[in-house]
Amino acid sequence: MPCAYTIDAERDVIVLRAEGVFADQELISLSREIAADPRYEHEFRFYCDLTQVTQNQLSANSLGYIPTVLKHSPKARCVIWFNWKLLDFGMFRMYEAYCSINGFSVPRSFHSREEALVCLNEGMPPEKVVK
């Protein structure tokens, strides 16, 4: 799974983009890498673009583990932009539940970039807006 993330501390946002096969070990490794990055803040907004993922091989175990690694603040806004043809609603709902149960920010899913960015940028001053 080719993946890349950037942390924009000036805009208080983490942007993650993935493509190809979305599998447990890569997601766990990437999450650990993000959490260990000295620029990472639990309060930062999180924008995840999964529209180029071609195969979803994530397990329930990894989805339960990821929130405990990233520990997004309940105040952090997390949005996920999916390829809806591959979205497993049950798996996404499980991830939402894991986040909620552990007191972390509950992600919101979107089928359009525009809607995801509206949610991500809501209430933000112009200098923090992600385009």
Provide the residue ranges of all domains of the chain, joining segments of one domain with +: 3-128
Non-local (6+) Cβ contacts of 101 within 8 A are none
pTM of the model: 0.90
In one-letter notation, the amino acid at residue 94 is: M
Phi and psi, residue 114, nearest 5°: -60, -45
Q: Where residue 45 falls among pLDDT bands split at 50, 70, 90?
A: very high
CB atoms within 10 A of CB 2: 10
Torsion over CA: 70, 14, 17, 118 (sign): positive
pLDDT band at residue 87 under the 50/70/90 scheme: low
Q: Which CATH superfamily is domain 3-128 in?
A: STAS domain (3.30.750.24)
Over the stretch 97-115, which tens digit does the pLDDT of each residue have?
999 998 999 999 898 999 9
> pLDDT at position 33, please?
96
